[in-house]
Amino acid sequence: MRDSRKLQNMLRIARCVRDSDYPSRADLAAHLELGPPAITALVGELIKRGVVMEDGSAESKGGRRPTRLALAPEYACAIGAELSQSHVRAAKIDFRGRVVGRNTHPNPRRGDAGAMLDALREVVKPLISDAGRTLVGIGVGVSGIVDRASGVVASFPGIASWRDVSLARELGSRTGCHVQIENLVRAATLGELRYGNGRSFRNFVYVHMGMGLGLGMVFGGRIHEGAAFQAGEFGHMVIIEDGPVCYCGNFGCLESVASIWAMVRQAHDAMDKGVRSRLEELRNETDFEKTVSIIFSAAKEGDRLAVNIVQRTFRHLGMAIANVVNLLNPEAVILGGALAVQDGAAQDELAGQIRAHVLPGVQPSVRILPAGLGHDAYCLGAAALEFDNLMSDGRTLLSKRLS
């Protein structure tokens, strides 16, 4: 019983160090309601085992400067991967949540599930070799409908033949590693919660705005997944009755009018009707990032069609996000994805639309922030799945003497 309590308290300390910005021993004692002698002894053992390390000194509030604590980066590492419509990429992440290696692989956009799995295996292979014995596993953020518990991806956007692929099992058998999967947007949300702009909040929403749309929700410091692991299908909120058909089979979904693929379709439809525009460049462009750049560059230069498409997109997004804020009353809205990193009037339009439609009583309590991790959010969040598994209980954490 005594050993069990000790392990539990060591785990609590490790988690608190993970979730705090360089806490001191006194900070841990106050937060965890443990006496200073107990904290000193437990922290000492964590340092001895290589889980935690001392990392400089904090400012003094009178007396000696307190020693800061942090997770020891070399204790463990994980590989986080992104498998999306636009990218197949991976990163090696150290135990402190820092990117220490990267790799990308061409995306077989018109391939089948087997081709995508092969690309995923190839992108993680050199990182596995580099990680050695400290590797705890691979996490993958995946576009599409994901059942995290079973490791199955039911469907993947743009690949009609993809049906109920056991991605975790297949990748595990091809690499010999422990593998977990998660919906791409929830992976990014976990990344922001652990390492990004979500660290300061217990309740926030992460809005992904890219080729598709998605929503990650954090309540009480935990990711909300929903009863069937499908929470956050923001892009399939119906906002225009009898609007454009969506690939899900419904009409008027937000994603069918306010995502990057919707913007491209709108441009093509207009130009097919004789509208002259700089967006003619889009006709032969298949690269996701170049597509975004063409649309927003044309808008900044005053191209009428591009300006109208961008403004219309951000109006729809702003109203939809405001509806989410009014419904959930989060502390913060974190905006991520390719549409969130554009500068200029479009961003002002988005923030203005959100503020214009949020209830007056809610406005003062909600902050609107850009994502803090950029494109790394997906890989960082995917890797965090494996670190969370490592820190699921004290025995698992401390029995994993990796180096």
149-204 pLDDT per residue, tens: 999 999 888 788 889 999 999 999 999 999 999 999 999 999 999 999 999 999 99
Q: Tens digits of per-residue pLDDT, 30-43?
A: 999 999 999 999 99
All domains of the chain in start order, with CATH: 2-71 (1.10.10.10), 77-190+377-399 (3.30.420.40), 200-370 (3.30.420.40)
Residue with the larger pLDDT of the pair 224 and 340 = 224
pLDDT bucket at 267, cuts 50 / 70 / 90: very high
Alpha helices in 176-301 (DSSP H): 184-195, 255-258, 260-272, 288-300
pLDDT at residue 289 in the model: 74
Range list of β-strands (E), 196-321: 204-209, 213-219, 222-223
Q: What is the pLDDT of residue 402?
A: 44
User: What pLDDT is attached to residue 158?
Assistant: 76
What one-character-per-residue DSSP string does 340-381 give? GG--SHHHHHHHHHHHHHS-TTTGGG-EEEE-SSTTHHHHHH
Both tokens of 241, joined, read 């009755």
The Cα 123–Cα 121 span in angstroms is: 6
Residue 62's pLDDT is what? Answer: 65
The reported pLDDT for the residue numbered 403 is 42
Those residues whose C-beta lies under 8 Å from the C-beta of residue 400, and which sit 6 or more positions away, are 76, 136, 390
Give the pLDDT of residue 335. Answer: 93
Would you list the DSSP string of 80-120? Answer: EEEE-SS-EEEEEEETTS-EEEEEEE---TT--HHHHHHHH
DSSP structure string for 138-179: EEEEESSEEETTTTEEEEBTTBTT--SB-HHHHHHHHHSS-E
> Which of 133-142, 187-196, 217-226, 244-253 bottoms out in mean pLDDT, i.e. has the lowest?
244-253
- Looking up tokens 């820092």 gives 98
